[in-house]
A = this chain, B = another copy of it.
Amino acid sequence: CLAEVVEDLEGLAVEQEALRLRINSVKDRAKSRGLSVKVIGSILKLRKMSEEARAEYEGLLDLYKADLGMLDGTPLGKYARDRMAKEKKPEEDLEAGAPAPEDPAEPEAPPPPTPEEIEAARKAGGAAFAEGRDVLANPFGAADPRRAAWDEGFCAAAGSDGMDIPDAWRPAKPRKKDGSKGDGK
């Protein structure tokens, strides 16, 4: 009976090896076409998660990055804004939409903001939190570096102000099986 088990497992190991080869050939094909296999791996990981698990993961990641000043010009993503908004005003609707869909005509690009202006935006974000405003109140436009700085200021204030961790930063309590198989770690 031992022999039978061992032979079965060895047969299955052969199948596994064959499968691995097929996977590698697909990856090689992707690589030869100029795609990044590593990034594709991250994509697969994200797609394996349930919608809610992914919302939680991406939201928390953005929130933590904001607190640590790692936003680097990319403002808070949708999930993170939802979290912060829910925390501040749970009675309000999730997303009030964009501040203003400005004229779809070609925008005359203004000069990029100076570092001083960016810092001012960061301070303004912190002040907004202190005044009890909402993350959605960020006044800066889409790709404006000041938008990210304002978000960072807001989140840093939220993280350090109260003596406790904001609820938005807490992971949801153990749901069912969400397939969230660690990204980082």
Contact B72 A78 (CB under 8 A): yes
Q: Which residues of B contact A58 (CB under 8 A)?
A: 74
Contact A185 B37 (CB under 8 A): yes
Alpha-carbon gap, A104 to B70, bound state (A): 24
Chain A residues with a Cβ closer than 8 Å to the other chain, count: 98
Contact B142 A34 (CB under 8 A): no
Contact B64 A43 (CB under 8 A): yes
Alpha-carbon gap, A96 to B12, bound state (A): 41
Binary B-proximity of A136-177 (CB < 8 A = 1, otherwise 0) = 111111111111100000000001100011010111000000
A-B contact pairs, 10 of them (CB 8 A): A34-B165, A35-B165, A38-B180, A40-B184, A41-B183, A42-B184, A43-B184, A72-B79, A102-B139, A136-B143
Binding site for B on A (CB under 8 A): 1-3, 5-6, 8-10, 12-13, 15-16, 19, 22-23, 26-27, 29-31, 33-48, 57-58, 60-61, 64-65, 67-68, 70, 72-75, 77-79, 81, 95-107, 109-113, 124, 136-148, 159-160, 164-165, 167, 169-171, 180, 182-185
